[in-house]
Structure 1
Amino acid sequence: MNAAQLPPVAPEVTATLVEGLSPRLRKRLDAAVTKLAARPTHRDGDTTTIEVDDETELRLHAPGGVVAKVEDITCGCLLAPACVHRAAAACAAPAADLAPEPAEQATPEAPGPASATAPAAFGPDAAHALGLNVAPASGPDAATGVAPNAAPGRAPNIAPDAATPHETASPDQRAAADALWSAGAAVLEAGVDGAGAVTQSALLRAAHTARLRHLPRVAGAALSVVTLLRAARAGDPSYRTAELVTALAELLGTARRVGTASGAELAAVRGRVRRPYSPDGSLRLYGLFTEPVVTDSGHGGVRTWVAGADGRLFTVGDVAPGGVGRALGVADRAVRLGDSALTHRELGRAGLAVSGATVSPDGRLGAGKTVKAVTARGAAWTEPPLAALWETPPAEQAARALRSTSRYVDPDGTGSDLLFLDVELLGAVREPGGACLLAQCEGGVQVRLTVADDDPALAHRDNLALLAAAPGTRLRIIGRLIPATHPRLTLLACTHPTGEGTVDLGLDRLRRADLPDPSAPAHYAPPQPAGPGGPSPLYLLERRVEQTVPAGRAALGLLGDVTAETRRIRRGGLPTAAALLTALCASAAQRDRDLFGRLLPADTDGFAAYWLAAARYTAAVSESLCAAAWNAAEGDPVAMPPVPVHDAAG
């Protein structure tokens, strides 16, 4: 059994079942989850059955696809309903998404406080790192506000609700945010290894309360953290520590801002449960490509990208519970938009004429009853209006994508993280995590192309391996920006190597006969530098931030003296990073004693505040270095817009 075989369970159901266990059974809960995962499972309609043993069955009833009530999980053992099996099943299943689409969207697309005192010994740079309300510093060492967007497994990008200019959070909202801060700080204290089912249930309970208090953004971040924790503890190969770092920073930073934000900032911090759709008249759309979507919560489907006559990008999605199998099947289903009979694959290469269109702020097309759509002629990537997408210089496209996907600017739902490039393939490049494809685009910028999803059922990995065997091939590509100290994209679509048509690299499979030289082996390009100025010493702080997540606060407390690392960071021109590293490690090691010499409880809130400052600071500097890397061949670094810095004093 794996989590994808079980129906999603509402967070409050999981929290209630765990809270109802006796202290003795709570200690056995993690072992019960592991044991239950090895048992056979089968589904019959809305009911999923797990064979606990030869004589006992556990049933999860999910009308509508979600287990919404405690009574929907039943067990046949002698200790039921007070047994550990029901809580273990809820903890093993995916957490249900709490942000449904409005009725106008025909198919839902699923996914992403404290009382601690801010450190005052670092000067103004550290105030920026902690989000204090001061004027932002300039240059790559300036720190910025909290990350709003979570990674794969993250909460949906949600638009803010309206707020009056002087409105502030209610006492109930501040209390809910405080509870989420405490739950997130507990995760940092314990690390992945110690954040078992009981810790996760505390997060789920706090997320449910925050949702009831109209704080969907921070509640969604909490669900993302739980999903990633479960993936990490289960040894999911798709799990990445950096994604959990981003999700935790979003959770802690947003929870802290609830108590201090007002007006428009409060609206952004609250978020919005439902994505609004507004009328957009008549649209002439041209298909670009279709990508498979597989989420950590067990959802699967596709997203088709289209462009308007004015160059605006739109998406038509179909994502629901089902995983990678559903993603492959939905690609050949008809698009649910008006009267069109096109499948998603066909729409990626054809066109639509839409009247009465409705569009969300992030470009999703609504499929309400008033929307009319008929099939129309498409356009090749080399024909107008699509050809204009490739005419913008790569550095400008990267700057736009960074503004759209920044981890520390409140999301407004606008912009796109896609880049449109003309490249020449240079071959594969070996990296610690595997191999990627190196290509050179106009202006001399060399970009690394990686797979969007490692799942072997999808075509990404095999297609990239074949393209590595065709150095010198010139292609027109579409990729998604990955913020890094060197130009990096996930490769989503490209023109066919033969020059005929296009390839959706997650769905269409290239053959060796499609290459210019079918017998050529994979070509490895010579090693490339990490960035325009070589590796940045910022990684010394980044690795300590990431090290906290799997091992907890105690891992940093055992490091001892970090003077050598801070000295190297200062020589690299990042004094704030050096100060944050010193303070972070000192906070991790600090344990006071009472008058009798007994250890007092650790200051989890204080450590979480330092960790959040370091995580936000490294994200801000990394994005500045990313912009500079894309612009390295054109001279001056890309000018980034002013970044709002928020009061995080709590």
Structure 2
Amino acid sequence: MTAVQLPPVAPEVTATLVEDLSPRLRKRLDAAVTKLGARPTRRDGGTVTIAVDDETELRLHAPDGVVATADAITCGCLLAPACVHRAAAACAAPMADPVPETAGRPTRATPEPASATAPAPTADSAPATDPTPTPEPTPTSESASSPEVASPAQRAAADALWSAGAAVLEAGADGAGAVTQAALLRAAHTARLRQLPRAAGAALAVVTLLRAARAGDPSYRTAELVTALAELLGTANRVGTASGAELAAVRGRARRPYSPGGALRLYGLFTEPVVTDSGHGGVRTWVAGSDGRLCTVGDVAPGGVGRALGVADRAVRLGDSALTHRELGRAGLAVSGATVSPDGRLGAGQGVKAVTARGAAWTEAPLAALWETPPSEQAARALRSTSRYGDPDGGGSDLLFLNVELLGAVRESGGTCLLALCEGGIPVRLTVADDDPALAHRDNLMLLATAPGTRLRIIGRLVPAPHPRLTLLACSHPTGEGTIDLGLDRLRRADLPDPAAPVHLAPPQPGESGAHSPLFLLERRVEQTVPAGRAALGMLGDVTAETRRISRAGLHTAAGLLTALCASAAQRDRDPFGRLLPADTDGFAMYWLTAARYTAIVAESLCAASWEDPRPAGISPPIPRAVRTARRGSWCPVPGPPGR
């Protein structure tokens, strides 16, 4: 790629430059993006210069760090400003985060369009001049009693998003080049102007993942693009039919609201490092209130894993507290004038005051109550929080608090994980939260695998899967003294009951090698459509064998969806002269969306069912031989020192 990172470009700038190209130049845009990415660049202050050839230079002016207007990209070629180079540079640069408006900061983690204006394009007209956004009409007294519905402008913006999303699904990631992405960016910008930030954020997430897929980014996952595309289509489809509270959830929020929390007494739980694919790094410290509600204090900024390790020992940005994040994870805070967002983030405004207070052990009130909730109820709560298509402002936590007994390591296709037996006889697979060697996750998990029979109190994040699975974040110390932040603190062999013990392989569990649910037959067709487009699914031919297998498992709806999806992909009508008519992209997109939502809901139901207590009433769980020989003392939810 380039020697110098290109400055971020506002989404509407990219859309405008692509729309201004002639049809002939649009066909050459993807090749120009690839060629431009290999050219040398240099930075001079807020300007980045790309050498298009030996005599022509392309400049991106970003005095504030972001290219905010189309005029800020200039080219020295003879065809400028109508050349393909300006649009190619905008497409090759990363998307800029949205410019904060007076209402506040955006709510979603995915970037939203900036606040410049743009209309929704139609199929029969060229892009028009950006209109000034008009405020939504205030409901009159006659309509005050009826539920609020979407305005005509919002419905038009949602229709444009649906059409752009359906075009991506039709072409697939391999065929969704810069022109298709620009149409999606324009629709996203229009949606944001029409007060539809949730749909706009989903559209920008799709564009980001499309660029990662086409660039061969190793962090790209097809499942993430499936989720983003289904979120985009589903949200756009619901705008026209939703009303009242449902419409508010479909619209989303343009900012994260912080409500007054008053005086809070907080108890530290643990601190976890945060490292993102975008190069950001930091930490998040989890605390619990006297009522058991979970809150977080975070510090994440550009810097990667190095910053994550350094920030852990910096003071918490909350009031006048001198505690570091590591210390807060084991201490307490008394906060006055607190502000809390729906997802539990604590605000750090000027009116917030905090002083250090005594913390509580995990075995003391009020923290001990977190481990008293049955695992099935905790898993159900976490699934509601992590649902792929749930309300982004629904709140809740995806953490689980469990008492477990370690069984040993289990080899999987993706690596090695740690198997533990949870209260209720539920075998749980514990995996690392981050494989970065600079973090302690992997080393700590391998050390714990050498101590079968050790009883621990753990905190993990739910991983939706057909079997109980968590990413391990924190645990009680094997000696029973204190706690371990598994991403930051490093266990030593001397901390284990048998320091010289090798990694122990857990015995096979009942049903571990059983057949998977045939739901994957529908899931793989849903995922297959995203990279290759509708045409790849239409060439499958007869899928009767797959539908029969699904039906035999009792999933008759899934079998019907698979049949309808493949039939819609292969359907191409002809006119009276035998010529192929345009494909029904809207019909195929609706079938695909239904199948994607269905598989997600069934997968979440299977995950919830896997956490149910498998024992009949009054029956104790079977204890593997390896655990019987290594067990030290009787089962106790409170970790104790190992016996002899």
Normalised by the length of structure 2, the TM-score is 0.83
Structure 2: which amino acid aligns with 1:308? G
Matches within 5 A, 1:487-502: 487-502=468-483
Q: Distance between the aligned counterparts of 1:418 and 1:102, measured in 2? A: 34
Structure 1 residues 200 and 498: CA distance shift in structure 2, 3 A: farther
- Given that residues 37 and 92 in structure 1 are in contact (C-alpha distance below 8 angstroms), is that contact kept between their aligned partners in structure 2? yes
Q: For residue 486 of structure 1, report the CA deviation from its aligned partner.
A: 0.6
Greater Rg over alpha carbons, structure: 2
Aligned partner of 1:387 among 359, 362, 368: 368
- 1:255 match: 236
Structure 2: which amino acid aligns with 1:240? R
- Given that residues 4 and 323 in structure 1 are in contact (C-alpha distance below 8 angstroms), is that contact kept between their aligned partners in structure 2? no
Q: For residue 44 of structure 1, report the CA deviation from its aligned partner.
A: 6.4
Q: For residue 98 of structure 1, report the CA deviation from its aligned partner.
A: 3.1
Structure 2: which amino acid aligns with 1:87? A
SS at match of 1:443: coil
Matches within 5 A, 1:80-99: 80-98=80-98
Aligned partner of 1:171 among 112, 132, 152: 152
- 1:333 match: 314
Structure 1 residues 516 and 274: CA distance shift in structure 2, 3 A: same
Q: Does 1:426 align with 2:407?
A: yes
Q: Does 1:192 align with 2:154?
A: no
Structure 1: which amino acid aligns with 2:285? T
CA deviation string 1:375-429 (max 9, x = no partner): 2222222232222211212111111111222234434533211111122222332
Structure 1: which amino acid aligns with 2:263? S
Matches within 5 A, 1:227-306: 227-306=208-287
Q: Does 1:355 align with 2:351?
A: no
CA deviation string 1:214-246 (max 9, x = no partner): 000011111111122222222222222222111
- 1:132 match: none
CA deviation string 1:457-513 (max 9, x = no partner): 544344434433443333322111122111111222223445443333333444555
- Given that residues 4 and 43 in structure 2 are in contact (C-alpha distance below 8 angstroms), is that contact kept between their aligned partners in structure 1? no
- 1:146 match: none
Aligned partner of 1:633 among 592, 597, 614: 614
Q: For residue 455 of structure 1, report the CA deviation from its aligned partner.
A: 4.1
Structure 1 residues 111 and 328: CA distance shift in structure 2, 3 A: farther
Structure 1 residues 101 and 384: CA distance shift in structure 2, 3 A: farther
SS at match of 2:91: helix
Structure 1 residues 548 and 632: CA distance shift in structure 2, 3 A: farther
Q: For residue 622 of structure 1, report the CA deviation from its aligned partner.
A: 1.1
Gaps of 5+ in 1: 114-161, 637-650
- 2:394 match: 413
Q: Does 1:72 align with 2:72?
A: yes
- Given that residues 335 and 341 in structure 1 are in contact (C-alpha distance below 8 angstroms), is that contact kept between their aligned partners in structure 2? yes
Structure 1 residues 572 and 102: CA distance shift in structure 2, 3 A: farther
- 1:139 match: none
Q: Distance between the aligned counterparts of 2:510 and 2:37, measured in 1? A: 44
Structure 2: which amino acid aligns with 1:72? A
- Given that residues 172 and 531 in structure 2 are in contact (C-alpha distance below 8 angstroms), is that contact kept between their aligned partners in structure 1? yes
- 2:572 match: 591
Q: Distance between the aligned counterparts of 1:85 and 1:520, measured in 2? A: 62
CA deviation string 1:327-385 (max 9, x = no partner): 34433332221111223233222221110111111111111111111222222222322
- Given that residues 104 and 368 in structure 1 are in contact (C-alpha distance below 8 angstroms), is that contact kept between their aligned partners in structure 2? no
Q: Distance between the aligned counterparts of 1:23 and 1:505, measured in 2? A: 55
Structure 1 residues 584 and 376: CA distance shift in structure 2, 3 A: same
Q: Does 1:19 align with 2:39?
A: no
Q: Distance between the aligned counterparts of 2:74 and 2:542, measured in 1? A: 53
- 1:617 match: 598
- 2:428 match: 447
Normalised by the length of structure 1, the TM-score is 0.82
Q: Distance between the aligned counterparts of 1:477 and 1:350, measured in 2? A: 18
Structure 1 residues 413 and 38: CA distance shift in structure 2, 3 A: same
Q: For residue 51 of structure 1, report the CA deviation from its aligned partner.
A: 5.7
Q: Distance between the aligned counterparts of 1:299 and 1:64, measured in 2? A: 20
CA deviation string 1:258-281 (max 9, x = no partner): 011111111111111011111111
Structure 1 residues 524 and 599: CA distance shift in structure 2, 3 A: farther
Taking only aligned residues, the RMSD between alpha carbons, in angstroms, comes to: 3.2
Q: Distance between the aligned counterparts of 1:40 and 1:459, measured in 2? A: 38
Q: For residue 53 of structure 1, report the CA deviation from its aligned partner.
A: 6.0
Q: Distance between the aligned counterparts of 1:194 and 1:286, measured in 2? A: 52
Q: Distance between the aligned counterparts of 2:501 and 2:36, measured in 1? A: 48
Aligned partner of 2:358 among 355, 377, 383: 377
Gaps of 5+ in 2: 112-119, 121-138, 618-644
Q: Which has the higher contact order (CA 8 A, sep 6+)?
A: 1
- 2:28 match: 28
- 1:122 match: none
Q: Distance between the aligned counterparts of 2:102 and 2:542, measured in 1? A: 54
SS at match of 2:424: helix
Q: Distance between the aligned counterparts of 1:447 and 1:377, measured in 2? A: 33
SS at match of 1:339: coil
Structure 1: which amino acid aligns with 2:585? T
Matches within 5 A, 1:554-569: 554-569=535-550
Q: Distance between the aligned counterparts of 1:458 and 1:41, measured in 2? A: 34
Q: For residue 60 of structure 1, report the CA deviation from its aligned partner.
A: 4.0
Structure 1 residues 525 and 198: CA distance shift in structure 2, 3 A: farther
- Given that residues 532 and 632 in structure 1 are in contact (C-alpha distance below 8 angstroms), is that contact kept between their aligned partners in structure 2? no
Aligned partner of 1:218 among 199, 213, 222: 199
- Given that residues 409 and 506 in structure 2 are in contact (C-alpha distance below 8 angstroms), is that contact kept between their aligned partners in structure 1? yes
Q: For residue 317 of structure 1, report the CA deviation from its aligned partner.
A: 2.1
